[in-house]
Structure 1
């Protein structure tokens, strides 16, 4: 694979790329301000999902390495927690400025390790950088309270204090933004961290750590450990159970989230979990259908459908169903251009790995075997490789099909016909997931009713994209605990301390 405006490394460890940004591509982990190997000297390959070429090899760290990283973060916390909010704000701002300067380099790394089209990778970098900028400002607004006292000679003070070392475990679908969203917040609050990026996409995490070091982030505040799937359980156990860890911040599947939650419970750890979604996309007769279709393309096919808030079930009112489906099919055919992320004009890259490709194709095959129809797509583009799945539109989807109930996490849209607001709510809420929902209507009363009655942490009215640094991001039910972004995102990493000032009349 050839990546334009990218990076290079030693010829034995790197495929051919243009010579740009080579200092951001790392082949070691980052602990206590040092670039280190695994204590076992074991390594594992990081591959480009578009063609399976090995980009480089990284340390395959184990539980002992994870313990070293946690200890480093715990030691640094003793001093970092006492820095002023102004100082933390200044450092975060410097980190943001450097990441902005190297946006193209960071985007090239994401395209190499995650397969995203380069334009989309640049979009993720801009999105991820917005969190560093936001939390640079937020650091100086994490305030306490003075509460009116019931006693004439006493004063009640509530202050927010950093809770300690945070274990940050991030996914492969947004490998950069999920780190900046968490690490920017916890640093603003005065915490330190150990980051365990996905084994599929660790290179952007290491590049971010390099820029953090250049920005003057003290050693031990940010630590990045890398491991293969084989060592991930042992590493995760340390990150959840070590007594020096105060919080586990995880974005990923509900299945893994439940495991980590159970491990955290052993030490009564704070958790911040952003888990799987099953987002309904509801279109009512009053909606602007052309606008709803344009937004549907964003809500479904961003990152090739590999997004936790991606639209999963399209619930279209019978009065506009045929028009919507016809328009959706047309747009998919014209705008979903499959190929390697470095090729100009490509809008949809490969799925991240063979397991994900097998899952997506399995859901479609099951649905078709039970009577669903693929109006477009529905198969692999084998001429491109074994992880390129065609953008697909399914109709005649029924409750007995796996795709009706499961999160797809791929480029497959399933359309269901509804006849009423009540039916839309019944179908939308019939899931244990509760992350995001989308509603398209011009009826103001209906918009407020849907917002109130949809059992989801986030509801977008007449929009297919709802993520930003300013609002509170998160779900309910089995889609997670806590919020990211906004002031609330920083407060997740603080404890409230109550101080009673007494004998003021003495």
Structure 2
């Protein structure tokens, strides 16, 4: 991996704990990072301290007036250059993401492609920050709305997508005129350092302050500090529901803004009329892609009783063909979990499911041997379950999927909607009425609803996010940009008199 780090100019003097010259370095405890792929060290870095945090915030606040004063298309041009820089580094950065996080190389490269795509989207958006014009009830008055940047945007991202979710937020925030402070997961700091270095080079080439994009490596304490900081206008946080509730409470107390993308417990409904040739690969990728560590991973299969046995047979056969190992080997379908703590949670969840009446149909084991020496590799697992098992309503970040039968579509939708989370959902059916019912107001209660595609793999053109304990926020495409700006309603009087609204008369 040193070759990858060197290509990204992350040679040891850059990321060693003995240096602290960059504004994302700290004076706190040393963080040592090992790859879940083989257990080998990636490097070490100091966590940020109180004084470094103050310094980063000062740099961000200093950069904001200059950045927001640039016309939005000029800000878009900087983001365009960043996208081109990512294109040049796609292979190296994709490998780093794969090795540091453990996802397959194809998924690592795909994550970098997501960054490139959102940069392209943001460039176009920089010329489309539209406001409405409304008709005033008063003669010779013009009423309209316009949008202004918020200021400093804080981004807290999770380990499972070490770079893409940051880019979703940062690219949009930048073209809207904001500056950003990014706290990546302390489990995957080097992918974040690489991105920061790439964007810093773009800023330097354009003689712009580095404070437009800031990186801080810290633990949950720093995340709490960001949430409480009144100088951060918006916090966009990705992570567990527990973490999101804490952020929402803290930000809400100071009447700040937040975007929350939290837990998912995503279901696929397979109807009597489903095409299993479509459904099986979508289910398998949704359940085992990123080793089940996506917020959109498929965790529940709700299968019509007439399809249950055939689908189960096909799934067990497909699982038996999966190759598990080094994610940098393109022949492998699944890599490791992020760390041994995740493995422990995997084992605990399986034990709990069995205690509650579940039956393992495939998997359920931690893999051993030289290939799996890091101790982070597990077998993807299928568990036959019932809807009243409490564990089914719990999200476990691991390749575990629960399968259960249903009799009619109304029952299936009720089962799908019965969990606290509401991120992604899917139905496989060739029945138009079932598809439309699933998409109607009596259907899926999730932020994402798909027909004949799986729960995982959202495109950047659509707003991404969910309901209920998923947080209710939206990132990426559509009109999600509005969350990164403040709306201002303006009325301009070009008459010679002063008429009041609602016909009110006021005489002096």
User: Is the TM-score greater than 0.5?
Assistant: yes
Worse overlay, 386-395 or 193-202: 386-395
Shift of 1:375: 2.1
1:425 and 1:343 mapped to 2: Cα distance? 39
* Structure 2 match to 1:475: 466
Does the aligned pair in 1 maintain the 2:63–2:211 contact within 8 Å?
A: yes
Residue 17 of structure 1 is matched in structure 2 by none
- Report the Cα distance in structure 1 between the residues aligned to 2:54 and 2:356, rounded to whole angstroms: 49
The answer on whether the counterparts of 1:24 and 1:105 sit within 8 Å (CA) in structure 2 is no
Q: Which runs of 5+ in 2 are unaligned?
A: 498-508
1:213 aligns with 2:203: no
Matches of 1:296 and 1:107 in 2, distance apart? 24
Say if 2:344 is the partner of 1:355.
no
Measured in 2, the distance between the counterparts of 1:165 and 1:394 equals 45
The Cα shift of 1:22 comes to 3.9
- Tell me whether 1:382 sits opposite 2:371 in the alignment: no
- In structure 2, which of residues 122, 133, 149 is the aligned counterpart of residue 135 of structure 1? 122
Give, in angstroms, the shift of residue 249 of structure 1.
Answer: 0.4
Query: For 2:83 and 2:279, how far apart are their aligned partners in 1?
Result: 34
User: Structure 1 residues 127-136 or 38-47, which shifts more?
Assistant: 38-47
Which of 63, 66, 73 does residue 76 from structure 1 map onto? Answer: 63
- Quote how far apart the aligned CAs of 1:7 are: 3.0
Deviation digits for residues 279-337 of structure 1 (CA, Å, limit 9, x no counterpart): 11100011101111111112211111100011111000001111100001111111x21
Query: CA offsets, 1:90-137, max 9 Å, x none?
Result: 100000000011001101211221012222211211122211111111
Corresponding residue number in structure 1 for 2:394? 406
Aligned residues: 484
Superimposed CA distance per residue, residues 363-403 of structure 1 (whole angstroms, 9 cap, x where no aligned partner): 112222443222221110022142111111112x1345443
* Structure 2 residue aligned with 1:258: 245
Give the corresponding residue for 1:462: 452
Question: Which residue number corresponds to residue 491 of structure 2?
Answer: 500
Distance in 2, Cα, partners of 1:206 & 1:433: 32
| Deviation at residue 4 of structure 1 after TM alignment | 9.4
Indicate the SS of the match to 1:7. Answer: helix
Q: Are 1:420 and 2:408 counterparts?
A: yes
The alignment's TM-score, normalised by the length of structure 1, stands at 0.91
In the alignment, is residue 87 of structure 1 matched against residue 74 of structure 2?
Answer: yes
* Structure 1 residue 434 corresponds to structure 2 residue 422: yes
State whether residues 274 and 428 of structure 2, in contact with CA within 8 Å, keep that contact through their aligned partners in structure 1.
yes
Spell out, residue by residue over 1:330-354, the C-alpha distance to the aligned partner (whole angstroms, 9 max, x if none). Answer: 11111x2111223341211111112
For residues 2 and 182 of structure 2, what CA distance do their matches in structure 1 show? Answer: 28
> Which stretch has the larger CA shift, 106-115 or 279-288?
106-115
Name the CA distance, whole Å, in 2 between partners of 1:156 and 1:137: 26
- Within a 5 Å distance, the mapping from 1:187-206 to structure 2 comes to 187-206=174-193
Q: Secondary structure at the match of 1:271?
A: strand
Indicate if the aligned counterparts of 1:73 and 1:193 stay in contact, CA closer than 8 A. Answer: yes
SS of the aligned residue for 1:380 comes to: coil
Residue aligning to 1:365: 351
Q: What's 1:450 paired with? A: 438
1:271 to partner: Cα distance = 0.4
Tell me by how many angstroms 1:143 deviates.
1.0
> Distance between the aligned counterparts of 2:390 and 2:329, measured in 1?
34
Contact 2:94–2:109 (CA under 8 A) maintained in structure 1: yes
Among candidates 312, 327, 332, match of residue 341 of structure 1: 327
Q: In structure 2, what is the Cα distance between the partners aligned to 1:322 and 1:223?
A: 53
Alignment of 1:7 onto 2:21:
no
CA distance in 1, matches of 2:223, 2:114: 27
Q: What is the alpha-carbon distance in structure 2 between the residues aligned to residue 23 and residue 290 of structure 1? A: 45
**Do 1:70 and 1:239's aligned partners in 2 also have CA atoms closer than 8 Å?**
no
Cα distance in 2 for partners of 1:70, 1:237 equals 15
What is the match of residue 226 of structure 1? 217
Query: Could you state the TM-score of these two structures normalised by the residue count of structure 2?
Result: 0.91
1:5/1:108 contact within 8 Å kept = no
| Aligned counterparts of 2:16 and 2:251: Cα–Cα separation in 1 | 28
Q: Given that residues 23 and 56 in structure 2 are in contact (C-alpha distance below 8 angstroms), is that contact kept between their aligned partners in structure 1? A: no
1:85–1:188 contact (8 Å) kept in structure 2 = yes
Aligned to 1:81, what secondary structure does the other structure show?
helix
Q: Secondary structure at the match of 2:383?
A: strand
Q: Which moved more, 1:142-151 or 1:110-119?
A: 110-119
Larger Rg: 2
Question: What is the CA-CA distance between 1:269 and the residue it aligns to?
Answer: 0.6
| Stretch of structure 1 that moved more, 432-441 or 109-118 | 109-118
In 2, the alpha carbon distance for the partners of 1:344 and 1:415 equals 29
CA distance in 2, matches of 1:435, 1:28: 39
RMSD: 2.0
Q: Output the CA distance in 2 between the equivalents of 1:255 and 1:402.
A: 18
Q: Distance in 2 between matches of 1:316 and 1:488?
A: 35
